[in-house]
Structure 1
Amino acid sequence: MRFIINFIKWTYDIFTRPAAKIGLGVLVAGGFVAGALFWHMFNLGMDKTNEEQFCLSCHTMEDNLLPELQKTVHWQNRSGVRARCPDCHVPHEFTDKVARKMQASREVLAHITGTIGTREKFKEHRIVLAQREWARFKANNSKECRNCHDYNSMDFSKMRVTSQMIMRSAAERDASCVDCHRGIAHSLPDLQGSRNPAFDTLMSEARSVSVESGVTYYSAAPQDLFADEGLTQKLGSLEVATPVRIVEVKGDVQKIELDLWRKNKGFGRVLNSEFGLNITSAILEKTVSQDPALIEVLEAKVDDLTGLEWQKVAVQGWVSTGAVLNSPETIWNIARTSYQNSCSVCHRQPVESGHDTNQWPGLFAGMVGFTNMDADTSKLVLKYLQMHSSDFATGSQAPGSPESTVQSARP
């Protein structure tokens, strides 16, 4: 015990009493050397943690991300210039680099604790990791990308015509690279499990709607359709903004009727909202689609443009209450916002009425891959584009409204 007390006293004296045998110059010189040594070791540590081998040994990249990177032009190309991990993920300026290293400690901790220690866990958390990096690139205007790819150094004349148009527009707006280019070095995360929070807003509004039998409403979100009021026998699924007529309300469930069109070909599972127009409103189970006890054919017509027979059918089923809206306008507003926000970052989005209903699916399929829309939002935006296409441009009412007097291009 006395030894510990003497040691503490001796240490205290060392730091509080003037040096008796060591001169001030020696102390200053020693402090300078110690500071220089610390600074050297600090920078050496920074450099070592910036080596690609460190990334491959510390992160789960070797098993998950490295194989994806090796398939891209950033790994191997005709010029022999390769982007390393820190080239894209570590800022070059000192202060930004230190801040990024501190942020990256979360990822190191996640690896050590096993949060992303397996392929399955990594895939589960990938959307979070990707969105974090996208936000960082967006905030600094893709600075790491532009250390190599600079608008002022681009020769637009050597690009394809379609690329020229997009890149010139991006240069004029000084757009961030990540606005258009995602998934060029690593695979995009699976967005199937994600959900647009705007659907929660629609469902919140739908819960306040007081429905009446015999009145037509619109489904507020994708939902399942059942044959029984116990919601155990699935008939199919409804898409968002599908018109439904309320037949009966029983507590937490309600019986609805669909009057939609289908092609009289194959199983006829896909039900469309308009004759001759491929606007998906519901999809039936295969065993249900040809059951006359469940599907009533009301009318049959031949589409002169395709020669196919279309049937207008009535289907009754049960859904949960609180999932319909009086009007589709709130739905269209959300779809319009999603379309404008997601499809204008790369180029000016096409006007909705610039294409007809059956052209939009193919066009949209070529664009949606460059966005981060989830599956439900993609279907909603496509339906919005179709319902506001040139086929509906002359309508005096909003498309989808029961009072709409649409002059369709179809007979």
Structure 2
Amino acid sequence: MRWGWMKAGGLGALVLAGLVGVVVGVVGWGGFNTAMEATNSIEFCISCHEMRDNVYAEYKTSPHYQNASGVRATCADCHVPRDWTHKVIRKVQASGELYHWLVGSIDTREKFEAKRHALARREWDRMRATDSQECRNCHSFGAMDFHKQTPKAASAMQGAEKAGKTCIDCHKGIAHSFPDVTAGHRQLFAGLSAQAKALALKPGDGAYALTSLALYAAPPAPGAAGEGEIAAATPVTVLAAEGGTLKVEVTGWQRGSSAQTLYARPGKRIATVKMNAAAAERAEALRTVTDPETEQEWTEVRLTAWTGAGGYAATLGTLWDYGARVYDANCSLCHALHPPGAYDANAWIGKMNAMKRLTRLDEEEGRLLLTYLQSHAKDSAE
């Protein structure tokens, strides 16, 4: 009898413990979920001035905040996954932002603007990796009535669907100000320019043009007319140094009877020198080869000329690092980057002509970028 009571009592204790565990679990789960949802609120997101004074102020001027339909997309709608697993992962990742808040990484407008592109790029990459899932919670190609869109928008949307693009490929900067994607590589170039001015080259040294440099037949006097220019990344050998100018030797390839442009390699239109007839007349022919693909003759020539002394880099790797930075910053705005080796050197010319107008690159930056891509193309990779 006593043994039976003890067994019944033990079972009752187990049941009671189980019930208590369930209650504690439910309360704990509910509390955790409530706390997590609280961190999704706009009030929580703008509780620090970094967000309130910067991206929130921009968001309030966008259609995602106020529009004709009265539907508002909040911070969490765009930046937090809805499914439980990925939501928890995102929250854990976001906890790292608390550290940067504590140390004041972006506690001033100047600090925020300096990091805006890096911060935006991180979010663009995350959204591209998830196929813009947060966007697709509200928008989808299947739900679009293309007849109610403008012809331009309908064409772009249908083209994007066929090409397998994701929302963030085309819709950057729709809720927040667009970052200055050129700031980083222009700051890098400013540093390279300072190094170039301090670089003391002497006869026998090899160097690479940092930017387009004017060519002269003799040491140039102020205001002297040039005979052409050397393109960025073109290798030269220094023959003489005189009063802030250099006499340099350049070798390149002329295509057929086109004597006034030199190229880096036969068969590949990677322009290195453009010159007038007088300079072309001075160029010394070295050898002639026939391009097996086009059966066109290419002649290697050597040209000597004078340039300014402050526009060279000591290593080519420095220029390629800069070119890669320009490419990454500017050409990932509308799609994932194609590796330079995705196309032939000559094919990159058409690609650049079509795409440069969509960037904020100036003429010199565009030329260097084209040279970088052509020099790393699948038929001329170094």
* Deviations, residues 67-123 of structure 1 (Å, cap 9, x unaligned): 111222112211111110000000000111000000111112211221222212222
Where does the alignment leave 5 or more consecutive residues of structure 2 unmatched? 1-8, 190-200, 215-228, 251-259, 262-271, 280-304, 374-379
* CA-based RMSD: 5.2
Label 1:60 to 1:176 Cα distance change in 2 as closer, same or farther (>3 A). Answer: same
Tell me whether 1:44 sits opposite 2:41 in the alignment: no
CA distance in 1, matches of 2:370, 2:110: 31
* Alignment map for 1:212-227 (pairs within 5 Å): 219=209, 221-222=210-211
Distance 1:144 1:31, change over 3 A: same
Aligned to 1:162: 152
Q: Distance in 2 between matches of 1:344 and 1:125?
A: 20
What is the CA–CA distance in structure 1 between the aligned matches of 2:108 and 2:15, rounded to whole Å? 56
1:317: which partner in 2? 309
Q: 2:43 is matched with which residue?
A: 53
2:134 aligned to 130, 144, 152, which one?
144
Corresponding pairs, count: 284
Residues 101/321 of structure 1: CA separation in 2 closer, same or farther (3 Å cut): closer
2: CA distance between counterparts of 1:71 and 1:77? Answer: 10
CA displacement at 1:194 relative to structure 2: 2.1
- Contact 1:127–1:190 under 8 Å retained in 2: yes
Q: 1:257·1:317 contact (CA, 8 Å) conserved in 2?
A: no
User: Equivalent residue of 1:57, what SS?
Assistant: coil
Task: State the Cα distance separating 1:238 from its structure 2 match.
Answer: 8.5
1-structure distance, mates of 2:50, 2:74: 16
Question: Does the alignment pair 1:112 with 2:102?
Answer: yes
Q: One-letter code of the match for 1:140? A: T
Identity %: 34
Paired residues for 1:201-212 under 5 Å: none
Unaligned runs of at least 5 residues, structure 1: 1-18, 200-210, 226-236, 260-272, 275-280, 283-297, 300-312, 386-397, 399-411
Partner of 2:288: none
Higher helix share: 2
Q: Secondary structure at the match of 1:194?
A: helix
Tell whether 2:25 aligns with 1:35.
Answer: yes
- The SS at the match of 2:46 is helix
- For the residue of structure 2 that corresponds to 1:195, the secondary structure is helix
> Counterpart of 2:162?
172
For each residue in 1:2-58, what CA deviation from the matched residue of structure 2 results, as whole angstroms up to 9, or x when unmatched?
xxxxxxxxxxxxxxxxx9998222221111111111011011101111111100104
The equivalent of 2:181 in structure 1 is 191
In the alignment, the residues of structure 2 paired with residue 111 and residue 132 of structure 1 have an alpha-carbon distance, to the nearest angstrom, of: 17
Q: Is the 8 A contact 1:215 1:245 kept in 2?
A: yes
In structure 2, the residue matched to 1:380 is 368
Whole-angstrom distance in 2 between the partners of 1:85 and 1:340? 26
SS at match of 1:28: helix
- Whole-Å Cα distance in 2 between the matches of residues 59 and 133 of structure 1? 20
Contact 1:142 1:176 in 2 (8 A): yes
